[in-house]
Chains A and B, each alone.
Chain A
Amino acid sequence: TQLLEQSPQFLSIQEGENLTVYCNSSSVFSSLQWYRQEPGEGPVLLVTVVTGGEVKKLKRLTFQFGDARKDSSLHITAAQTGDTGLYLCAGAISGNTGKLIFGQGTTLQVKP
């Protein structure tokens, strides 16, 4: 069974603080995607990482794919109230067409 452990599950911080969300697995992923989901809506893609060791930046968000392609992290610098939401990591396994393995999600609340 392929699992993707995401932590922490809940995070409540003050505006301006930094935070990191982690996704770990014993499985090797051919790619890993990060999504953000608002209540009642579908997940919106933030980034796709494909190469081991890859680092991608999206404004204040930094995404890293582990060298062995088994783990990933999302770091947010100087969080804003608009960052509040559910963050999901999802891994694709080679040969498993159309299927993503999702982490449990991290609910982030940024307080003003």
Chain B
Amino acid sequence: KAGVTQTPRYLIKTRGQQVTLSCSPISGHRSVSWYQQTPGQGLQFLFEYFSETQRNKGNFPGRFSGRQFSNSRSEMNVSTLELGDSALYLCASSADGISGNTIYFGEGSWLTVV
């Protein structure tokens, strides 16, 4: 059974640009969450999607957005990039996102903003 797949693995962007990251969850999983990991803040929850709807949201500015498609694949977008957006962005999938169900992570997308 394939794991959580994230693309691209590494990317470099310039301040002010936007970026789109992609995530394919484990087959059969319908909940996809996104996290940002930085050395200073650790892992922080961005948002969760289930059945193409954003169901939960963390405390990030509106520049961070996402969507989910009918096949459960998800994308997240960051607009007007800032230097502080440099981070490892992790996608996680679970069967239905209900607490108690195990959440599995992808390998992440490393974003560097210069």
Least Cβ–Cβ distance between B12 and chain A, in angstroms:
15
Q: Tell me what chain B mostly uses at the interface: helix, strand, loop, or mixed.
A: strand
Judged by a CB distance under 8 angstroms, whether B31 is at the interface is: yes
Q: How many inter-chain contacts with C-beta < 8 Å in the A-B complex?
A: 81
Interface of B toward A, CB cutoff 8 Å? 4, 6, 31-33, 35, 42-45, 48-50, 55-56, 58, 88, 90, 92, 94, 97-108, 110
Contacts A33-B102, A45-B105 known; 11 new A-B pairs at CB < 8 A: A40-B88, A40-B110, A43-B43, A93-B99, A94-B99, A97-B99, A98-B48, A98-B49, A100-B92, A102-B42, A102-B44
* Tally of A interface residues using CB under 8 Å: 29
The chain B residue sitting closest to A100, CB to CB, is B103
Bound CA–CA A33/B94 (angstroms): 13
Judged by a CB distance under 8 angstroms, whether A92 is at the interface is: yes
